[in-house]
Amino acid sequence: DAGVTQSPTHLIKTRGQQVTLRCSPKSGHDTVSWYQQALGQGPQFIFQYYEEEERQRGNFPDRFSGHQFPNYSSELNVNALLLGDSALYLCASRQYNEQFFGPGTRLTVL
């Protein structure tokens, strides 16, 4: 049984560009959350998707948006990239009271 998978592993973009990150949840999990982890910091909650709708959102600007598909997979989109968006982006899927994290996508904005 595959765990949470994310793609791509690494990504380099320039300021002002747009990026899309992808996540496939653990089999049987229907809820997907996204987190941003800056270097040396703990992960920060961005938002959570359930039944294809954003159910909860952290303190992130509207440049951060997402989507969940009928197969529960999810995308994170970031528009108008800033240097400060450089971070490890983590996806977590949840069933009942356990959340499992993927390996993350390392985004570097130049």
Partner 1 sequence: DAKTTQPTSMDCAEGRAANLPCNHSTISGNEYVYWYRQIHSQGPQYIIHGLKNNETNEMASLIITEDRKSSTLILPHATLRDTAVYYCIAPVNPLSEGAQKLVFGQGTRLTINP
Please name which of 83, 82, 102 lies closest in space to residue 91, comparing C-alpha atoms.
102
Look at the chain and count its residues: 110
Q: Is 60 in the site for partner 1 (CB under 8 A)?
A: no
At 27, list the tokens.
Answer: 């089999």
Q: How far is CA 63 from CA 5, 41, 77, 83, 94, in A?
A: 24, 21, 8, 14, 25
The SS3 of residue 19 is strand
Residue of the chain from 20, 30, 45, 86 that contacts partner 1 (CB under 8 A): 45
Nearer to partner 1 by C-beta: 78 or 102?
A: 102
Nearer to partner 1 by C-beta: 65 or 99?
A: 99
Nearer to partner 1 by C-beta: 17 or 100?
A: 100
Site for partner 1 in 71-100 (CB under 8 A): 88, 90, 92, 94, 96-100
Residue 9 sits at the vertex; the CA angle it makes with 65 and 56, to the nearest 5 degrees, is 25
Task: State the residues that interact with partner 1 by CB under 8 A.
Answer: 4, 31, 33, 35, 41-45, 48, 55-56, 58, 88, 90, 92, 94, 96-104, 106
